[in-house]
Chains A and B, each alone.
Chain A
Amino acid sequence: SQQGEEDPQALSIQEGENATMNCSYKTSINNLQWYRQNSGRGLVHLILIRSNEREKHSGRLRVTLDTSKKSSSLLITASRAADTASYFCATFVDTGRRALTFGSGTRLQVQP
């Protein structure tokens, strides 16, 4: 199974509401990244959080990391219709393949 698993698989909210997506993983990591993918496009990097960090902010994005629970969450505050996209978490482990492993993504629909 994927190193990173997002939850929920799909989320539909109204504009202005907050959206929370979760990611769980299985092994110890060096960092965890969140990416966004608009339909028919490539992935765009949103934010990276290292294993020794617990929280990071970037604009309307807030990411938390709990290494004891092997989980991360992405919060988008005051959502907009333009936030409609799929969101992926990706974990990096500094052993073995030493490359990112992506989860299956959360499809977010923000209704105007």
Chain B
Amino acid sequence: DARVTQTPRHKVTEMGQEVTMRCQPILGHNTVFWYRQTMMQGLELLAYFRNRAPLDDSGMPKDRFSAEMPDATLATLKIQPSEPRDSAVYFCASGLVLAGGRNNEQFFGPGTRLTVL
């Protein structure tokens, strides 16, 4: 049963600390997405990769957020320094985007619930 996994599931940290969230996409998927979900803003797309290359990170605050895919089995999202307003649930999703770039379904991980004090 292939699933997207995310670690940690919960993270509580203090303002100013670095936070790293990890995601293992489903094997064979070529596109990985990072989303942030809050009550106020709903689900926001932060960044996404295709074949490990960053395609769009326009939803991400550039000064403190960074996203990478060091290999096909790992995607990371880092926040440095973290701020209380970063408190949210961060979801990773993966999908297989076929030729022509048409989007197919996305498979979501369970999320990382981040609390910045």
Contact = CB atoms under 8 A, between A and B. Distances in A.
Contact of A43 (B48, B56, B91): B91
Interface string B39-80: 000110100100000011010000000000000000000000
Given A42-B111, A97-B56, A92 B45 contact: no
B91 A30 contact: no
Interface residues of A, number: 23
Nearest to B47: A99
B104 A48 contact: yes
Contacts of A41: 110-111
Contacts of A100: 45, 103, 106
Contact of B108 (A42, A99, A105): A42
Contacts of B109: 42
B43 to A, nearest CB: 4
Contact of A45 (B42, B43, B105, B111): B105
Contacts of A2: 42
Interface of A: 2, 30-31, 33, 35, 41-45, 48, 88, 92, 94, 97-105
